[in-house]
Structure 1
């Protein structure tokens, strides 16, 4: 039975009110009528004040009905160092998880000075709205980390450390933390180079963060644990890679260290420094993978190198998500909800063209 004009116009009115605005051509298609018929129906409804007609469209006179917005379940303060690109993906992972739970995120970048986080935490917690903290202190030196240990551990309310592993004996081991297992990542890199036959390795790394210090210590242990590794060395990956560049002794270029020690395997931390070092080595006559194999540590832009760099890839967004989930659990069950947890997330090795067995 053919639909009556009155019924058809009622359907048009319902469609327009539901969507706010509908093109006449779309109405014709969905109603299985000609564009002329749909346009005439729209004109009739507009003439009696049921909708507004525009150029080729029909617009509703009432606001579009929307699903009710779930009220906010509190505010979480996210405190991270300013201009710290490594943590961008961690922050993104945490933000997505918190906003999905209708928790508002307020970002507080900490200036590049020692102890910058403490006044921020005190100011944030003095507000009535903040219900929990996610924090990644900069900790350029081990002394910075030690200075923050007790006051941060004693902070009231739910708190989760982001991408920071509390050290043995630290008071912060009593608080929740989610971090990348950088010892595992360093071991992945050393094992990969050793499996390719490299017996002399160099780590070109930063020395101005907990991640850098963990990589340096883990690299030494991984080399010592493998009898096939005959020699290894650690150098700075960039002029500004030290915690205190002004008081850091000058080092020879990486190419000189590699030639002096006969090194054919290199681990570089982080990505941008790795791409720059590969370019500098090429200018010195050393090409990967012809003369050496390289593994970068970070894997944000390693694949864009020439050649694309094999890399250890921390699951940074997952670290942020897991930290947010842990904090949400604390917020839902209260700050005394069970013992503190330390969650170590394993990185992956992404094998590309910069490593070769021809050594």
Structure 2
């Protein structure tokens, strides 16, 4: 499925704002689209006043004082390594950049391809270029992927903060600083909202290709199973590609729309936004109205508001994850020996629920 235009433009904007400037060809390679496509997006963003276009180069329109002109000298950069094609984590760059640049540091953004072990060469490259610390969101599609990274990450000789990743208890990375959204609470917000609206049969459809996806699945299933008024619920993958290449994925997962009918569900929670939007479109084609016949909640809230109807969504604090992670890293860097010796912190930030037009009361009088 093609990436929505608005989502792609958000990713371009986030990448340029994080760096101050970027080459069109580099952006096209990172987003895996044509140079022509990026040029069109840049033209539109330029018309909106959000970017400035040069010959083959795109620049941020943020005030000059917010864009340090350091050019990558040793000692003034922090590496930020995030997975390719991950708009959710790209949004964390805004918060991280604000905190780091206020401290006189520049982000060196590295995009890790969608292959196992892709983060290590990116981090090593950043350290060779003189990065003083690392903000990292490894893909970790499976437990084995995570374990393969434990040794070299634990051995880094610069401060490291993990974003939206919580290492297993007792692992080599247990004592590494990390900042995560509390996805259990996000799942609670979604289920509680639907139950309050009178829904008793709920479908959950999540991805299965990241630690966040697996945490969210476990939370939704736990909360629904323990809820006194939820009569029935079921889980499936949110799309055929949601667990592709993931050893932990189910061998066969029912189609969300088919399972919704079989369950007699009147509501669904989907991770993430694009899969939720696709379900709404599929249901409309089958004569099922949202929210009149079925309420839908998206989890991520990157493009959920752009749907028809706009989707109610759980909104993890993406900017805040980046900001707090950067502040933890700054504490390590600025404190010298004292900063390096302080106890590790595992911070959890609470998501919020944004109610829009895709949910409504269910019942005879609704």
Q: Find the counterpart in structure 1 of residue 360 from structure 2.
A: 356
Alignment of 1:120-131 (within 5 A): 120-127=122-129, 129-131=130-132
Distance change (3 Å), C-alpha of 1:118 and 1:331: same
Tell me how far 1:122 sits from its aligned partner. Answer: 2.8
Alignment partner of 1:271 out of 252, 258, 273: 273
RMSD value, Cα: 2.1
SS at match of 2:344: coil
Q: Which residue of 2 aligns with 1:38?
A: none
Tell me the TM-score normalized by structure 1: 0.76
Change (3 A) 1:354 1:70: closer
**CA distance in 1 between partners of 2:198 and 2:184 (Å):** 21
Conserved 8 A contact 1:255-1:286: no
Q: Which runs of 5+ in 2 are unaligned?
A: 1-64
What's the CA shift for 1:117?
A: 1.2
Q: 2:327 aligns with which of 325, 328, 340?
A: 325
Deviations 1:96-152, CA, capped at 9 Å, x for gaps: 22112110211111111101112222333344x221111110111222112212321
Tell me the distance in 2 between the aligned counterparts of 1:329 and 1:126. Answer: 22
Whether the 8 Å CA contact 1:202–1:232 is kept in 2: the answer is yes
**Counterparts of 1:167 and 1:187, CA distance in 2:** 22
Q: Is the 8 A contact 2:96 2:319 kept in 1?
A: yes
Q: Is the 8 A contact 2:257 2:283 kept in 1?
A: yes
The farther-off stretch of 248-257 and 137-146 is: 248-257
Trace 1:225-236 onto structure 2 (pairs within 5 A): 225-236=226-237
Q: Tell me, yes or no, if structure 1 residue 168 matches structure 2 residue 169.
A: yes
Q: What TM-score do you get using the length of structure 2 for normalisation?
A: 0.75
CA distance in 2, matches of 1:171, 1:225: 33
> 1:198 offset after TM fit, Å?
1.2
* Structure 1 spans left out of the alignment, 5+ residues: 1-65
Work out the number of aligned pairs and report it.
Answer: 291
Q: Which residue does 2:186 correspond to in 1?
A: 185
- Larger radius of gyration, structure 1 or 2? 1
Partner SS, residue 312 of structure 1: strand
Match of residue 346, structure 1, among 329, 346, 350? 350
Deviations 1:155-206 (A, max 9, x none): 2221100111222222212010111111110111111111112111111111
Q: By how many angstroms is 1:293 displaced?
A: 1.2
- In the alignment, the residues of structure 1 paired with residue 69 and residue 102 of structure 2 have an alpha-carbon distance, to the nearest angstrom, of 11
CA distance in 2, matches of 1:325, 1:115: 27
Q: Which residue pairs with 1:12 in the alignment?
A: none
Shift of the alpha carbon at 1:248? 5.5
Find 1:258's aligned residue among 260, 269, 276.
260
Which residue of structure 2 aligns with residue 198 of structure 1? 199
Distance in 2, matches of 1:125 and 1:245, equals: 30
Change beyond 3 A, Cα 1:358–1:198: closer
1:140 corresponds to: 141
Shift of residue 153, structure 1, vs aligned partner:
2.3
Residue number among 84, 102, 105 corresponding to 2:104 in the alignment: 102
Q: Distance in 2 between matches of 1:322 and 1:252?
A: 39
After TM superposition, the structure 1 stretch with the greater mean CA deviation from structure 2, 196-205 or 69-78, is 69-78
Verify the 8 A CA contact 2:257 2:279 in the aligned structure 1: no
Q: CA deviation at 1:281?
A: 1.2
